[in-house]
Structure 1
């Protein structure tokens, strides 16, 4: 494991080959940076936050900074489709359903109107005429982000990694990071080798805190175990349920302080993917272990939602799988430098809504590592917004 002449020193090492790290490495390689992408598990794998067939893409955000970022994200997804020759995005429209007067709903509508995003409001009758599978409460309101839809997640991850390698990037999988030694040249020790780089970007997903703590940074990250649920039609072949099903986001319905989302399913023929946005805290090393009763009865909440809003589906999930989210207290990302080491950049806390923005997140993280000024105001993503940070060794 001997190092190295200067010729073996990478311009950048990216730790974590999920969608955020893979896009970061891709953009670095596009800028002719000698880049190593490290992954602790053999690729492909399903232990983090980037696996599975589908994710939602939307401009419908209450926060205007995300709405602003999505224009370039859509363009970068189109660039990857063109480069790879693989279809990665399917336009279905995205419905937002909420009780009348809901502040988040009104902010979403305001943002789409101000940004001149193609969108429309539906009355209850209009929605049920177009999507008869939905049954709404009398007080519910609906809008549609017309260009919302579905990203093909596994294909996207594979495509961006392949493009990175075609540009000369190096992927080393099955190598868990054991130690990071800061310095003008950063030394990264894995289970199998030692590497050096002028800069590193840490995009370690659910393992972020385990990687960051030894280099003096404690962030208020919470790792959640997510139940990914798939639902079956009561009457197979019902009109609309599978052929014309949109992506959707249900906000604070039935007086509950939570969100439910759904999208047409690619994973299992004849099933629809509908999930609770959130989950119960879990150690990523023990993802499959149910060591204590769940604090949030997420599956029961989903069963209740299905019974009320989508009665054409069986109210019990046909398939339940697991995924991991890494959440921040405000559900906004972390895109920033380490407070002590400006050649260590951190991308974390994507809080279950980062996949759609990953092409742009990767671009921003690559720019930070190259010392460039991103085109976006990163104030919402700074580490300094957390009072609990610790950066002393």
Structure 2
């Protein structure tokens, strides 16, 4: 019998496992599949993680104070986690927010509130520092240098799981198919977890960190979160080693604003007046090549992900037409730069109507830490910690719990109705 079972061994789940074992001394298990060796031909669980990658932007500066706070609390623990685990995953290369005045005003407000040091850059300074970018004359920027940059999500998860295991967490490489609350003869409750490999695991409490797959397995019986699963394609532009010097001081970049006229915005994109993308400096991937990665929001909005088959197919195949459009857009951002080759990768974003994660209790034995909205990687350590804090009734964040409250689909009753079965250990 475990005190706490965490289902989902990605960035949030692995962080929760570490915090559960180090801060609360709980007898904890973490259940989730490891990354398949070959995504395109994996015929087993069909469970994938968006963390199967080499780079995610991390920064405190944000237009939303909640995400800024979650990131700040997470980032301050990165170096300790690296040192304790012996696994490096954090590169402090800085982050540049660029775009229109309205967007930057919001980031300035949050930066002031959370005491985040930033540097203002007008178009003249932007062109001097980043001559390879094509920007409109009305573009402005905010540079965050301290504690901003990127993390390697694969290595970060490895670091979290390494420390969780050292601290006594049992890690099970499996997929959970069913979670049920059982009422025992003495009136007490326990959770029964059944896995794809045939295991039956008993735990006093369960925390779900199951991301986009939350509704595709029977882990949240009788309850459905209000969320949208959105597909996202990223383009990887290969940079020749001879050209790496050009990008030596390139930070991570996030853009919100109007498109430059020379940018090749995909015809399927909603509007050229509201472009949102992120871009990362050259990162060395497992194949030995260096890639600049770009993700363009709303570029794959025509795709529909509503079933397990849909999400698995998207992770495996993506969309070749959209991939080419995103890559053409990525290339058009650069002036005088030729890229050796390109490839694409796919992931999914779980979007909530609050734009914030759900960190909430379904009932006294079952909690959730889901709904990343495309921003959770950098904040995963704090989201995982808060999930454990919630499960132990020791919430200690400046963020009010109501802001992170779970929302049901409108078709479901206003009160959670969860089936409880009779049984015994």
Contact 1:204/1:211 (<8 A) preserved? no
Deviates further, 318-327 or 20-29: 318-327
Which residue number in structure 2 is paired with residue 200 of structure 1? 206
How well do the aligned residues superpose, as a CA RMSD in angstroms? 2.7
Which residue number in structure 2 is paired with residue 32 of structure 1? 25
Structure 1 CA distance for aligned equivalents of residues 317 and 91 of structure 2: 39
Which residue number in structure 2 is paired with residue 188 of structure 1? 193
Pairing 1:364–2:364 present: no
Contact 1:227/1:299 (<8 A) preserved? no
- Please list, as runs of the form range in 1=range in 2, the aligned pairs for 1:86-165 lying within 5 A after superposition: 86-99=87-100, 101=101, 103-147=102-146, 148-165=148-165
Pairing 1:13–2:13 present: no
Deviation per residue, 1:108-156 (Å, 9 max, x gap): 1222133321211111121121122112101111111222201121111
Deviation at 1:285, TM superposition (A): 3.6
Structure 2 CA distance for aligned equivalents of residues 38 and 189 of structure 1: 11
Aligned partner of residue 390 in structure 2, secondary structure:
helix
Which residue number in structure 1 is paired with residue 276 of structure 2? 259
Structure 2 CA distance for aligned equivalents of residues 226 and 284 of structure 1: 16
Deviates further, 248-257 or 207-216: 207-216
Aligned partner of residue 329 in structure 2, secondary structure:
helix
Contact 1:23/1:363 (<8 A) preserved? yes
Structure 1 CA distance for aligned equivalents of residues 317 and 163 of structure 2: 42
Structure 2 CA distance for aligned equivalents of residues 331 and 299 of structure 1: 29
Contact 1:222/1:281 (<8 A) preserved? no
Which residue number in structure 2 is paired with residue 392 of structure 1? 417
Q: Residue 64 and residue 175 in structure 1: after superposition, are their counterparts in 2 closer, same or farther (change >3 A)?
A: closer
TM-score, normalising length: structure 1: 0.87
Contact 2:70/2:383 (<8 A) preserved? no
Which residue number in structure 1 is paired with residue 43 of structure 2? none
Contact 1:55/1:152 (<8 A) preserved? yes
Contact 2:327/2:342 (<8 A) preserved? no
TM-score, normalising length: structure 2: 0.81
Structure 2 CA distance for aligned equivalents of residues 218 and 11 of structure 1: 25
Which residue number in structure 2 is paired with residue 344 of structure 1? 366
- Please list, as runs of the form range in 1=range in 2, the aligned pairs for 1:308-319 lying within 5 A after superposition: 309-314=333-338, 318-319=342-343
Any runs of at least 4 consecutive aligned residues in structure 1 with deviations exceeding 3 A, and if so which? Answer: 42-46, 211-214, 238-242, 277-281, 283-294, 296-299, 312-317, 384-390
Pairing 1:326–2:346 present: no
Structure 2 CA distance for aligned equivalents of residues 162 and 285 of structure 1: 32
Deviation per residue, 1:192-236 (Å, 9 max, x gap): 211111110011111111246751111122223321211135x76
Which residue number in structure 1 is paired with residue 44 of structure 2? none
Aligned partner of residue 215 in structure 1, secondary structure:
coil
Structure 2 CA distance for aligned equivalents of residues 315 and 266 of structure 1: 15
Which residue number in structure 1 is paired with residue 421 of structure 2? none
Q: Residue 213 and residue 288 in structure 1: after superposition, are their counterparts in 2 closer, same or farther (change >3 A)?
A: closer
Deviates further, 376-385 or 166-175: 376-385
Pairing 1:65–2:75 present: no
Structure 1 CA distance for aligned equivalents of residues 29 and 394 of structure 2: 20
Q: Residue 380 and residue 266 in structure 1: after superposition, are their counterparts in 2 closer, same or farther (change >3 A)?
A: farther
Structure 2 CA distance for aligned equivalents of residues 44 and 11 of structure 1: 29
Q: Which runs of 5+ in 1 are unaligned?
A: 1-8
Aligned partner of residue 247 in structure 2, secondary structure:
coil
Deviates further, 363-372 or 204-213: 204-213
